[in-house]
Amino acid sequence: MTDTPERPCYTHPLEILWQDEDMVVVYKPAGWLVHRTPLARHETRFVLQSLRDQIGQHVWPVHRLDQGTCGVLVFALSKEACQKLAACFADHTAQKHYLALARGWLPDEVDVDYALKPDDAPEDAPAQSAQTTLRCLAHLEWPEAYDPRHASTRISLVEALPKTGRRHQIRRHLKHESHPIIGDATHGKGPLNRWWAQRIGLHRLWLHAHALCIPHPRTGEVMHFGADWRQLAHVPEVQQWQQLLRVKGWQATARGLPETCGMQLPLTTP
């Protein structure tokens, strides 16, 4: 098995979570790029072009999600709305909530303040400040050892709340904390990714943009957008996440899963 993620086959249009005259919010599938780029000429699936054709009007990208990341993605429907929405991401007014599957058992809560330099920046380029709050929602102990020094293998379901918006910030901050995301071919560990893929039955980047809060570009009202799994049960990635969390042995922390996951896990035993 290679580190190339499995790509679900989509036979339906993009899922639109919200649309009005100023903005449209969609569920981005894993494996899709937000828009065309000269660096990925071999790719054929782009959210921007597909959404434009689907709704029959021009759309402006407001923010980005990595190709392997699925979840909530916002587009503007005018240049003016784009400027206002993009400013909310630039000044960190937008609040992003992610779910991630990470190696080991993450502590209850970790505030990461670790500056990051862009991947393609020169060696002498200064690092940019970056902060993320990481919270453990649940953990699983697999009764089989990946590392012969241990009797079992552990993973955590993590809620990641980035306060800044650096490229690969969540992935790099979890790696910095020695809890890399499972399936992350760039910042994780290939052998461990393949080990888990064989046991879970899925090989992918386990990072999900689960919710987003942002002021409306026209009214200023704070809008809450979420990938509600109860309404998206037909979406392949949602099915994969639910399959993952149905694996026997998961135990939730006191926080538990977001209500929009539409499922509960047993609480951690004392």
Report yes or no on 118 lying in a domain.
Answer: yes
The CATH number linked to 149 is 3.30.2350.10
Identify the CA nearest to 222 among candidates 212, 230, 213.
213
pLDDT at residue number 9 = 47
- Grouping H, G, I as helix, E, B as strand and the rest as coil, residue 198 is helix
Phi, psi (degrees; rounded to nearest 5) at 172: -75, -35
Report yes or no on 106 lying in a domain.
Answer: yes
pLDDT at residue number 123 = 78
Predicted confidence band of residue 1 (pLDDT cuts 50, 70, 90): very low
Report yes or no on 6 lying in a domain.
Answer: no
Mean pLDDT of 158-186: 96
Ranking 37-41, 73-77, 122-126 by mean pLDDT, the lowest is 37-41
Q: Which domain holds residue 136?
A: 15-261
Report yes or no on 269 lying in a domain.
Answer: no
The Cα–Cα gap between 197 and 243 comes to 13
201: region left, alpha or beta (phi > 0 left; psi from -120 to 50 alpha) = left
Alpha carbon 71 to its chain centroid, in Å, reads 6
The Cα–Cα gap between 57 and 52 comes to 5
pTM of the model: 0.91
pLDDT at residue number 124 = 80
pLDDT at residue number 268 = 73
Kindly tell me the burial class for residue 136, based on how many C-beta atoms sit within 10 Å of its own C-beta (0-12, 13-18, 19 or more): buried
Report yes or no on 94 lying in a domain.
Answer: yes
Report yes or no on 75 lying in a domain.
Answer: yes
Alpha carbon 83 to its chain centroid, in Å, reads 24
Report yes or no on 10 lying in a domain.
Answer: no
pLDDT at residue number 12 = 61
**pLDDT tens profile 205-257:** 999 999 999 999 999 999 999 999 999 999 999 999 999 999 999 999 999 99
pLDDT at residue number 28 = 96
Report yes or no on 4 lying in a domain.
Answer: no
For residue 111, pLDDT beyond 70? yes
Active site residues: 66
Identify the CA nearest to 133 among candidates 26, 240, 29, 255.
255
Number of independent structural domains in the chain:
1
